[in-house]
Chains A and B, each alone.
Chain A
């Protein structure tokens, strides 16, 4: 059974820092992995989708990597801003369903 873990559960950093969020999964047989952002009480915004054949994807200040063999993905955020404060969730497409991590709550201090 696929399990997805996100570490840390919460992270607070000063503005301007580069940071890394981690996502690990137990079964390397995945179709893709998607990173989402969720603001309090709001829906989910798709940030990046990495297909199983890809190693990384970039969008603006965000870079996501995927290492299927080790069951890991990282989301790198460059030059963090207070507006980046949100909960970040990763979801693995495994066995025809999205399997979710519990999320990392990120706070960027001005």
Chain B
């Protein structure tokens, strides 16, 4: 099983809403990642969790709040987003627990987020 599962697939939210994106993997991977991807652009790294601890925050605004409840789950809590935050949000995982990406990265199918 090389699957990373993201829910929901699509999300429309107002600028005053609070919502959460969820990501799950059962491959025993110890590093998990959140990426943001705008149309026709490559993914941009947002956060890296290594052994359930936040190891990299790429200067992401505080309206995005990651959480890693356990080694299989990764959440991204959203609050007071702006229309420019509309994008495809991708979760990934890799076996290497250092979060350095030395091993193969597996991606989920993404959550298409629209902020209105």
Contact = CB atoms under 8 A, between A and B. Distances in A.
B101 A96 contact: yes
Which secondary structure dominates chain B's binding surface? loop
Nearest to A32: B102
**Interface on chain A toward B: helix, strand, loop, or mixed SS?**
strand
A34 B104 contact: yes
B43 interface: yes
Contacts of B109: 42-43
B101 A97 contact: yes
Given A41-B88, A42-B109, A98 B104 contact: no
Interface stretch (A11-19, A65-73, A100-108): A100-108
A102 B103 CA distance: 22
A44 interface: yes
Contacts of A102: 41-42
Interface string B36-47: 000001110100
Q: Give the contact-size bracket for chain A.
A: 20 to 34
B45 A97 contact: yes
A97 B43 CA distance: 12
Contacts of A46: 2, 104-107
B79 interface: no
Interface of B: 2, 4, 6, 41-43, 45, 56, 88, 90, 92, 98-110, 112
Interface of A: 31-32, 34, 36, 41-46, 49, 89, 91, 93, 96-98, 100-103
